[in-house]
A and B are shown apart, each in its own frame.
Chain A
């Protein structure tokens, strides 16, 4: 059980230790999840020497990204595009220990080298704008109100030398509202040396990726300096993780509407007394593993291996019990891990590769790794004026306590009352907050940043609550769909190398009626005109008795109009000079 913990982590570290041997590495790990889901983790990693990066000779490292990093003096970069919710209760721990995923939407953090904070802000602005163009995402909307400088949650993962480390500034920004879609995948694939034309990246397809129950794309750039070596390297790691619903993915693309299973294909429990030709009680399929193949799930098979990956690692691995039948297309060699649930496949450089797992009755399942912490966060409270947030953090381990940092970055219009921050452990008030870092918001300038270090004893639940007040925004500060609410970035929970993100929240703010300014203009104008007319007429008019007033002779007016009409008709063609006279007559 322990050795299986974080399978991806082991794989990842195994290859990252080998990085100097080869410049490019790619691997796909498939892990069936319950019920009838499949986690596919794509990992692409390439290295370049620091010298060739500085000289801008790009081989495996993408030129477009390299230029941006140099231009913005960015030493380490982490960019995430995520969608959906990881169901930790039934899917277990997150892939890569949560280190390769971000909150819903887009998340970016980077270590920028700069002398002063202002310079760092300027470079951060350059970086976000350039990345925005490269990835077709609204990253340029990460302005000062969405940028924080976390103190406890993030640590540089790369090997920076001490001199640069002093001048590094960590900046972190989130865009929870951003919808990740195909236009973000295309530039992502362009950064890969094999570009989705060969190797495991040929499986990636926007239709399938963004149809997943949960998906996360990540790009990490970090320098690595091996001990004793003088030359450092720059490593770019791109990962895509997705949880696919097998039945949903298997639907043919030309006929995607789900239809009921035909009668003759239904598997019925024949032991039921009411079972007959038109009555069926479906058999329990828990023991039945659903069959699938790569080409069914991803729409097409894998187009050979990427010839650049020469590190000898098998490009495709699957995490199933050895008893499960797995068939591959010809030309592929299987390597089984003798004491685990892992088997890997070596592919032929050309020729298609497909992996087929048939329907099989098997009770043995590859064990799931238990997460270190369960976290959920929701709004409490009511009304348009104020509200509250409650985060429930559960340590499932019966023996070990967990020490973690909980970080919130809230927008300025969600005004946090710090004195209401309370942490209850198993329903009792006990001091569990070890350390706290709080940076209050400034209206329209920056958001709230809250980092809390909490220690949860074994088998306990901590409920963290705080209240906030909703600010009233200016008329132009509302987005076009103001009634949808405002997305609040997920909280980031850091436990050493493992990180967990809660879901994002949707905050409804008091929304004005947007036709209001025009109504106000018209109403005020009417009131002003009424009072003005009243005063003016009082001053100007002469008041006489009813029988003394000028009388409106309707017939005379009618006659006058008729005469004028006749005259107009008569003189219509005779020139414009007479129009004036007609007007006077009217």
Chain B
């Protein structure tokens, strides 16, 4: 623009000179003043050769700019964007790539029954179970236990299942009453039945089969609800998720998800003793951990490992005062500014367990509470016996890790494996979807090769996890997938480009592009006008 005004000013100056000469003439011949106007002298007509030469010059300038300048600029400012399998990523995110199915094998041990009786019982129970189940992703499959296996294989119910893990063994024992008894430390359900309950081979239903089916359903109801909830909160297609959960179940499951920590291969547990004064300054934590905590942690060893540290902190005042703690005070009880509860530095998530020495009580009774995704607090005035506190801590740890509340320990752990695998699988899939959407939404961010590698690793492990869902390998694969997905999504070098916008580049180039561009553009415009004029005249 400025070049244009300068040019016009220059022309104006020339014009005024011409006018001056004209006025000088006017003074000489005042009589002719009205008729005399500055008359323009036409330049000699331009030869076609020079016109062509000029056109060539302009064309060659533009050719250099377009053929050399623009490609160089394009190449040097281009952002590297690795190719991502966007379709596959969206498939995973929308649940099209994997249909999470949890086939649970349940073995029936019925030594007291005849072979055909057992077969019949198995079939009728399976029917009863299938009738009860509305959720296809979670499926219980019965089989007869090993001694009777040879004949079972022919039925096709459990073909090729010999190497798969058995989730639960049902032992059918003849007795006087009908009752189910879940063993506390092994995945065995003892069911006693009365002899008259054994179904005859002709009847299609039996009370024993119904009883077994109902008991099993009761046992796995919580797990089913958990997986159903996970599926319903993910972006899986709605027809995949089961019919809506009842509001109170959904609410308790929502609490369960907010409470439980993110899954990790290793957790770090910190046990802290906080006292408001100088005493007590020591506790017998080593023995207590050895006795009450280590056995529990050992049983977790296939899911997660744990490292432990303990500390004693004196003169620790809580964030709230008063002897009766109100519910709303509990969140402020931890004095985050003063209490040294920094997370461990190894990268494993830290779970804090705090034993506070004092007489306080939570409003409405109780002396302990759980802080979601962080840890637990127990208030105890006498710390000579650490057993009650340790038992509470164990319970808190179970719920922080996301284990279901009912059932025996082995069953809860196995459920935890399945639920965690499903959760990680869905989370990694969701991250893939987010990454795909981000890639499409922000064309200016770079996508380094490491992100593409992360995406391929994720998809590979997601596929493996999906095939082996429910087992320990599935969990491991899902964990690797989730880790790779998060790493790819939070790649640092992707973000940097967002803060280098195009306006910035233009601002830097403008001092060059402006003064160079204006003569170029003006040249082409002028030439175009002249060409049009010539054409009109020639017509």
Contacts and interface: CB of A to CB of B under 8 A. Distances in A.
Interface of A: 55-60, 62-64, 66-68, 71, 130, 134, 190, 193-195, 197-198, 306-308, 521-522, 524-526, 528-530, 532-533, 536-537, 539-540, 542, 544-554
Could you say which of B61, B311, B508 has the most chain A C-beta atoms within 10 Å of its C-beta? B311
Contact of B315 (A198, A521, A536, A545): A198
Given A63-B309, A521-B512, A551-B38, 11 more contacts: A57-B286, A58-B309, A67-B345, A190-B338, A532-B519, A536-B519, A539-B57, A540-B58, A548-B42, A549-B11, A551-B11
Given A68-B345, A306-B278, A529-B515, A544 B43 contact: yes
A126 to B, nearest CB: 8
Contacts of A550: 11, 40
A331 B270 CA distance: 40
B519 A537 contact: yes
Q: Which 7 residue pairs of A and B lie closest in terms of their CB atoms, listed nearest first? A: A529-B515, A56-B309, A525-B511, A552-B11, A197-B315, A525-B512, A548-B43
B308 interface: yes
A526 B511 contact: yes
Contacts of A59: 281-282, 311-312
Contacts of B40: 547-548, 550-551
6 contacts: A58-B311, A198-B315, A307-B278, A526-B515, A542-B43, A551-B40
Given A71-B346, A194-B314, A525-B515, A551 B50 contact: no
B279 interface: yes
A545 B516 CA distance: 27
Contacts of B516: 528-529, 532-533
Contacts of A56: 307-310
Nearest to A191: B340
Interface in B288-313: 307-313
Interface string B504-522: 0000100110111001100
A521 B514 CA distance: 13
Contacts of A540: 54, 57-58, 523, 527
Nearest to B342: A64
Could you say which of A63, A134, A198, A544 has the most chain B C-beta atoms within 10 Å of its C-beta? A63
Interface stretch (B12-20, B188-196, B201-209): B12-20
B131 interface: no
A554 to B, nearest CB: 6
Contact of B270 (A63, A194, A547): A63
Contacts of B344: 67
Contacts of B502: none
A194 B285 CA distance: 21
A271 B312 CA distance: 66
B52 interface: no
Contacts of A542: 43, 46, 50, 54
A228 B243 CA distance: 73
A66 B270 CA distance: 13
Contacts of A546: 14, 17-18
Interface in B106-165: none
B539 interface: no
A57 B314 CA distance: 15
B41 interface: yes
B438 to A, nearest CB: 29
Contacts of A71: 345-346
A227 to B, nearest CB: 28
Contacts of B279: 307
A198 B15 contact: no
Given A68-B345, A71-B346, A552 B314 contact: no
Contacts of B340: 62-64, 190
B285 A521 contact: no
A554 B511 contact: no
Contact of B278 (A57, A308, A544): A308
Nearest to B307: A56
Nearest to A307: B278
A308 B314 contact: yes
B94 to A, nearest CB: 40
B226 to A, nearest CB: 34
Contacts of A539: 54, 57
B14 A528 contact: no
Contact of B342 (A134, A526, A544): A134
B310 A194 contact: no
Interface in B310-358: 310-315, 338, 340, 342, 344-346
B83 to A, nearest CB: 33
B538 to A, nearest CB: 19
B519 A521 contact: no
A533 B519 contact: yes
Contacts of B281: 59, 193, 307-308
Given A57-B285, A194-B278, A521 B508 contact: yes
A64 B527 CA distance: 77
Contacts of A195: 313-315, 338
B183 interface: no
Contacts of B61: 536
B493 interface: no
Interface string B58-71: 10010000000000
Contacts of A525: 511-512, 515
Given A63-B309, A533-B515, A554-B12, A55 B286 contact: yes
Could you say which of B18, B285, B345 has the most chain A C-beta atoms within 10 Å of its C-beta? B345
Nearest to B524: A540
A130 B345 contact: yes
B8 A552 contact: yes
Given A62-B340, A521-B511, A526-B515, A193 B523 contact: no
Contacts of A66: 309
A545 B309 contact: no
B290 to A, nearest CB: 11
B222 to A, nearest CB: 35
A326 to B, nearest CB: 27
B511 A58 contact: no
A63 to B, nearest CB: 4
Could you say which of B8, B278, B312, B346 has the most chain A C-beta atoms within 10 Å of its C-beta? B278
Could you say which of B41, B58, B314, B516 has the most chain A C-beta atoms within 10 Å of its C-beta? B314
B523 to A, nearest CB: 5
Nearest to B9: A552
A68 B307 CA distance: 15
Contacts of B270: 63
